[in-house]
Chain A
């Protein structure tokens, strides 16, 4: 009993020690801060690290399908799944950041009141595209994850069979076109977002540096798009077919 009282007293002292640290300035700041500045900054950061970084990693993994075919892709996937604590990496490096960035991004997108008719500039067009591609990319990523990672989690597919799953998806013209739209949207959203990240964190300040970073980011957009599309075309090759056909039925049933 006395121990409890002692602990409470100690706690009280600690709490009192914290109090007078701030001067008479009202503390309304803290809550307001969490609502605005920090949450937006976090959104901006997560878009590049880890989400942008993972997008680039995904691009490299996929490109193994171009360079090494079915076997190369399987090895790349195996390498990724061989990383230590891969589930934790997925949760903290992909799922949670994606959830936050996506949900908060929707909030940002629907707060906008685009006026591209009045201000027909490239930068204003990119402002609009950033929001549209963000919404498309989020929907696309959810769909893509449902078809691949969730199927693995449910035990319907193994990681080794994902090449086959992709083969069956991209061989359907409608899905192939939807994947193209999704990929280009994601690539634009990331690269254009990288440009605004540099502005929002105060790295590129003047018009010249912002122009130069714009060239670099749009170059990156071209590279990322081409590499993803190339991989997508590679998945259409018959060598990915093995083991995939049966799974198509499952995916189809799920979509229906």
Chain B
């Protein structure tokens, strides 16, 4: 606040402006349109704080009052995955997109690989369906206490932890040229989760079920090796290594199934 007060008296007329070009959509089935907004610059602002500003004062670039832009966000520290959107052509987390580091005007679009609910809000249900399909959990429920599970080697834990950082944000699916309306490829995120849960000493007990799921239609064979996912992932997860590791596991599983019967 101190800074704002210092600025105001001297150069009230020449307040720095930030221009946003936002792709909007009123309803899931309606056509999208572009709306521009000009906001006062504030130090340290990010795309979310700009959207909050628009929410407070929903006036577009032409000076007309408009419906405030809808978006989703929770944690504001790049761990929840809710605020994924396409900013200046790159799918990423809006909370971590600092205005100072972005080229202007800033173009904001929804990740249209997913169904658009409204404006920047998208429906990522397909990702959760993929997680269900590959059984991305460890079944431990029973009628009695099964006691502690086997221990995990520290070395393994270290790389498995990296995979556990996945927040199902959908950026890897948006970046993948093989995830589109012409295919039913589940995308990199769920494949990497199979690697995570198959690495877990208890999860390993159901490893084959998860591999079977990866070998079904829309599974791992959909990967086209463009390797955009690993470039785009905001958590730096080695997605292409996970996919290749699962390629190895499913190949082995395939031969085992043929030769073992």
Contact = CB atoms under 8 A, between A and B. Distances in A.
Are A and B a genuine interacting pair, yes or no?
yes
A108 B250 contact: no
A26 B14 CA distance: 69
B249 interface: yes
B219 interface: yes
A113 interface: yes
Nearest to B243: A199
Given A29-B212, A37-B216, A118-B90, A206 B226 contact: no
B178 A33 contact: no
B247 A200 contact: yes
Nearest to A193: B225
Interface stretch (A50-58, A73-81, A119-127): A119-127
A35 B251 contact: no
B90 A124 contact: no
A37 B215 contact: yes
B216 A29 contact: yes
B41 to A, nearest CB: 27
A206 B175 contact: no
Interface string A33-57: 1011111110000000000000000
A210 B227 CA distance: 11
Contact of B228 (A33, A36, A121): A121
A113 B177 contact: yes
B251 A124 contact: no
B178 A111 contact: yes
A64 to B, nearest CB: 35
A199 B244 contact: yes
A123 B220 contact: no
Interface in B182-196: 182-183
A117 interface: yes
A205 B248 contact: yes
Contacts of B218: 36
Contacts of A127: 177, 224-227
A118 B221 CA distance: 24
A204 interface: yes
Interface residues of B, number: 39
Contact of A119 (B178, B219, B232, B252): B232
A207 B248 contact: no
B196 to A, nearest CB: 15
Contacts of B226: 119, 123-124, 127
Contacts of A114: 177
B129 interface: no
Contacts, number: 107
B248 A119 contact: no
Contacts of B138: none
B180 interface: yes
Nearest to B182: A111
Given A33-B215, A108-B224, A207 B178 contact: no
Interface string A10-40: 0000000000000000000100110111111
B205 interface: no
Contact of A207 (B217, B221, B223, B240): B240
Contacts of A210: 240, 244
A37 B178 CA distance: 15
A115 interface: yes
Contacts of A206: 241, 244
B224 A115 contact: no
Contacts of B67: none
Interface in B3-30: none
Interface string B130-143: 00000000000000
A41 B246 CA distance: 14
B231 interface: yes
A202 B224 contact: no
Given A119-B226, A202-B251, A37 B219 contact: yes
A242 B254 CA distance: 54
Given A119-B232, A205-B241, A207-B240, A36 B177 contact: no
B245 interface: yes
Interface of B: 89-90, 175, 177-178, 180, 182-183, 212, 215-228, 231-232, 238, 240-241, 243-252, 254
Given A35-B217, A202-B244, 20 more contacts: A36-B217, A36-B221, A37-B216, A37-B219, A37-B221, A108-B224, A110-B182, A117-B89, A118-B175, A119-B226, A119-B232, A121-B231, A123-B225, A124-B177, A202-B245, A202-B251, A204-B244, A205-B247, A205-B248, A207-B240
16 contacts: A32-B217, A33-B215, A35-B217, A37-B217, A37-B221, A37-B254, A41-B254, A111-B180, A112-B177, A119-B228, A123-B227, A199-B225, A202-B249, A203-B248, A205-B241, A205-B247
